[in-house]
Amino acid sequence: MTKEDPSYYQSQIQVEKSQKDEISDYFLNAGASSVAEKEHDKNSVNLIITHQNKSLVLDIERSAIVIPLENSLQYNWLNNYEGFYLGNSIYIHPSHLELPQSLKKGCSIIQINPKDAFGDGRHPTTKLCAKLIEEFLKNNSIENCCDVGTGTGLLSIISEKFGVKNIDAFDNCKNAIKNTTENILLNKCKHINCFQGDIETFSTPKKYDLVVANLLTEVIENNISSLVNLLSSSGTLIVSGIGKQWKTCIEDLFKTNKLLINNQKIENNWLAYQLSVKY
């Protein structure tokens, strides 16, 4: 059942748990507004994909159920969305829910409206990046940071929570910047400048003590020199979004660009690195 020219569609497919992150990532990068998951059984989950292109889901399953949504129903999946701990001292709190009464003592609370952009902290690539940022900033005091492909603005907000006073955050997606702006206001952040931009064309005379890039492997590979050029002489680059299968290729790329691996993490076949330039 469909209507003519609906604003949004919702598609539901069943996938194995081992595939859910890869498939979720695929849909988000292909233009889906959101991907939520619902437990099916011990081995599989149902992925609920909200998008504007009813043919998008056919790339994976031709028999998917496609239901057009009214705008007011677009975010019904948020009803099952809950807060969670990210790293050792960060609690991600969905802004539409009440704050739990019992939280870890001393944890930083970050409010997020996750409805329209990739990067609410649940995906392994965002988790890994956030953990590297937390570890780095707990041991280092820096002046500024650049968040490339900011998504929801979560990584920028974490950076401010850990003391960074000058943060530039950009994304090539208009909805991401809209959502980032909302999240900045929710968290009363005062040191984040967000704007629409693309790493392929972004240019600035500024140099950053920390550059964070949670991007696709191909985007990192094609723009590694641009990322390195953003660094100050003692700057740190944190990259995430790299599939485990690209480990050898990406580490060879680091060597070619005189980047030292200072820290790295892996989760669910995803890699993240903390790097510095070797002089």
Could you tell me if 161 and 70 lie in one domain? no
Q: Round the average pLDDT of the chain to a whole number and report it.
A: 82
What is the CATH number for 71? Answer: 3.30.70.120
**Is 96 inside a domain boundary?**
no
pLDDT, average across residues 252-265: 97
Q: What are phi and psi of 115, to 5 degrees?
A: -70, -30
Q: For residue 275, is pLDDT > 60?
A: yes
72 falls within a domain: yes
The answer, yes or no, to whether residue 95 has pLDDT greater than 80, is no
Amino acid 181: pLDDT: 93
How many whole angstroms separate alpha carbon 5 and alpha carbon 270? 37
Specify if 180 maps to a domain.
Answer: yes
Q: Are residues 162 and 259 located together in one domain of the fold?
A: yes
| Band of residue 1 on the pLDDT scale cut at 50, 70, 90 | very low
Tell me: the pLDDT tens digits for 165-210? 999 999 988 888 888 999 999 999 999 999 999 999 999 999 999 9
The residue with greater pLDDT, 1 or 97, is 97
For residues 246-274, b (16+ Cβ closer than 10 Å) or e, as one string?
eeeebbeebeeeebeeeebbebeebbbbb
Q: By percentage, how much of the chain surpasses pLDDT 90?
A: 46
High-pLDDT (> 70) share of the chain, %? 80
Tokens standing for residue 16: 């194995």
Residue with tokens 């002489």: 233
What is the span of the domain harbouring residue 273?
120-277
Residue 81 in any domain: the answer is: no
- The mean pLDDT value for 242-266 works out to 95
Q: What is the pLDDT of residues 116-157, one digit of tens each?
A: 445 567 788 889 999 999 999 999 999 999 999 998 899 999
Are 254 and 148 in the same domain?
A: yes
Domain match, 174 and 261 both: yes
pLDDT of 132: 96
Task: Report yes or no on 84 lying in a domain.
Answer: no
Confidence of residue 8 (pLDDT cuts 50, 70, 90): low
How many whole angstroms separate alpha carbon 80 and alpha carbon 66?
Answer: 20
pLDDT per residue over 28-57, tens digit each? 776 676 777 777 777 777 777 776 665 555
Tell me the pTM: 0.73
Domain count across the chain: 2
Residue 133, in any domain of the structure: yes
More confident residue, 12 or 178: 178
Place of tokens 């967000």: 194
Q: How confident is the model at residue 72 (pLDDT cuts 50, 70, 90)?
A: very low
Q: Do residues 54 and 156 share a domain?
A: no
Cα–Cα distance, 111 to 185 (Å, whole number): 10
Asked if 260 and 180 sit in the same domain, the reply is yes
pLDDT of residue 119: 57
Residue 92 belongs to a domain:
no
Given a cut of 90, whether residue 62 has pLDDT beyond it is no
Domain boundary among 17, 41, 76: 76
Output the six-digit token pair for 173: 């997606």
Mean pLDDT of 229-251: 94
**Residue 110 forms part of a structural domain:** no
